[in-house]
Amino acid sequence: MTQAQYPIIRVFKILHIIGLVLFLAGVISLFMTDIGQNVTGMVAISSLIGLGLVLVSPFPIALVFQWASKNK
């Protein structure tokens, strides 16, 4: 089965990359800046990290579904 039969995998891959960028931006801003010293900064950092992790999560699941459908 080719990649063309699973176009959703490409979307999940793009979301995965965006999620990694958001997660890394949140972690870098947490450790490298003093943004986290006030409440607004804490909310921004936690939102970046949380959204990043949420966007990262569907891609491995989609790969497992793709792998399982190949092994039928």
- What pLDDT is recorded for position 64? 87
What are the residue ranges spanned by the domains of the chain?
3-70
What is this structure's pTM? 0.81
The yes-or-no verdict on residue 32 having pLDDT over 70 is yes
Least confident of 14-18, 44-48, 66-70: 66-70
Condensed to tens digits (0 to 9), the pLDDT of residues 47-58 reads 999 999 999 998
- The pLDDT, as a whole number, for residue 3 is 53
Query: Which of 58, 63, 71 minimizes the C-alpha distance to 6?
Result: 63
Q: What is the mean pLDDT of residues 16-33?
A: 95
